[in-house]
Amino acid sequence: MLDIKEIRKDPIGLEAKLKNKVPEVTLTPIVELDEKIRSLKTEVEEFKSQKNQISKEIGIKKQKGEDIAKILSEMGSFGDKISKGDQEISQLEETLNNALAILPNTPMDDVPVSPRAEDNVCIKEWGKKPTFSFPFKNHVELNEKLKLFDFVRGAKISGSGWPLYVGFGARLEWALLNYMLDIHRKNGFSQVMTPILVRPETMYGSGQLPKFEQQLFKIKDDDYNLYLIPTAEVPLNGMHLDEILDEEQLPIKMTSYTTCFRREAGAAGSQERGLIRTHQFNKVEMFCLTKPEDSERVYEEMLKSAEEILQGLNIHYRNMLLTTGDMSFAAAKTIDIEVWLPGQNRYYEVSSVSNCTDFQARRSQIRFRQKNEKPQFVHTLNGSGLATSRLMVALLENNQQEDGSVLVPKVLHKYLEEENVCIQPK
C-alpha cells in the first residue's frame, strides 16, 4: 500500500509514475477524499475544543450556583456533532483505505517505461542454447516413452491442469526441490515450512487481495474462510504481520518449498500443454525482510542464489529487467530469469525476483525499530528459487538424446542415489 503522506507531497508526479504501470490509475478521488477527511477532522477537533471549554464553564457556574440548563443543552449539541463527525470520518477512512488498497506499487526509477512485455530488457545471458543433430522433441513427446508424468490420470483425479508425477518423474522432482533448498541454505537462507491455506488478511498483506480475488482458489464454508496460496511469499510475509522487529534481526532471509495453486492454466495449444502452465505446481521461494538501505544488496543476493541453481544444472538462461507495464502489482522492480525451452522454441520464466520496497510491509504493518527511534517499515523482497514445472521441462528438453533418453545433470545424482543417471525410454 502506498503512503498517503507521499501522495499528498506530489500527487501529480506520483500519478504519472503509476500510470506507467497501470494507465487508468487516477489519484484525484483519493486526494479529494483525503482532503475531506482532514477537513472533517479539523472540524470535529474544534467541536471537541468547544465542548471542553463549555465543560469548564459548567463547573464555574455550578460553583456560583448559577443555572446551567441552557449551557448543558449547548454541550449536548456539540456531543451530537462530534459523534456524527467521528462516524463519518470512520466511514470515509474505510473508503480511502479501500481505494489505496487497489493502487499498485510505484516503479523504481531504473525500471524501463513501457506497457509492453516485448520491451523487457535483457541484462544478462549465461550459457548457450543447445543445438541438436536430430529432430528434437518437446517434453510431452518425450514423456510418451519416458513415463515420468501421467496427465491423463491427473485429469481423471482433478481435471485438466493438475499434473501427476509418477515413478522416476516423482523422484526427479524431489531431487530438484532438495537441490534448490540446499543451495539457498548454503547462501544464508533459513528454511521454513509454511501452511498452504491462509486467512484473508494474510492474502491482503501480500497484495493478493482484493485485486486478485478471482484468480485464487479458496475454501469458504461455515467453519473456514481460507485461501490456497499462489506462492510461499504469501505465508512468509504473513509470519510477521503486525510485528515490530529489532534492527539486529534484519535482514531475515527465508526459503520455503510449497505446492502452489492458481486458477488460470493457460490457453490450449502445443506451447501450453503438459507442465508449461498448470493449476498446481511446486516451487521453492525466497523471501526477505530488510532495512530500506539494505534491500538492493539483498536483492542481488537473491538473484545470484537463483542463478547458481541454473548454472549448476548447466541450463542456458537470460535475465530480463521487466518494464513498468509487465511488473506485478506489488513490485517496484522485477528481474525475470528465463530458460530456453527447445520444444516451445521460446524462453519461459522460471523465477521472478522482485523488490516490493515497503508496499507489503505497510499493508501488513511489519516494522522495525532502530535504537530509540520511531518504528519504520521494512522492505520485503521475494523471488522464485525456482518453480520446478518449467524447470523440469528445461531439464528434459535441453538434455534429450537422439534415442529419446535424457541425461540427468550431475548435481542431482546424489539426491537420486545413482551415478551417471540417464532416463531411458520404456
Residues known to be catalytic: 262, 277, 349, 352, 390
Other CB atoms closer than 10 Å to residue 108's CB: what's the count? Answer: 16
- The angle, 0 to 180 degrees and rounded to 10, between the axes of the packed helices 168-186 and 388-398 is 110
Q: Cell 543476493: give the residue.
A: 301
How far apart are alpha carbons 148 and 172 in whole angstroms? Answer: 9
Q: How far is CA 110 from CA 231, 332, 418, in A?
A: 26, 10, 46
Question: Are 281 and 389 contacting, i.e. CB atoms less than 8 angstroms apart?
Answer: yes
The grid coordinates of residue 22 equal: 497501470
How far apart are alpha carbons 311 and 221 in whole angstroms? Answer: 46
Q: Residue 355: what are its φ and ψ, rounded to 5°? A: -100, 115
Residues 6+ apart with CB under 8 A from 158: 279, 280
The DSSP bridge pattern shows strands 333-341 and 346-355 to be: antiparallel
CA torsion 98→103→104→108, rounded to 10°?
Answer: -130
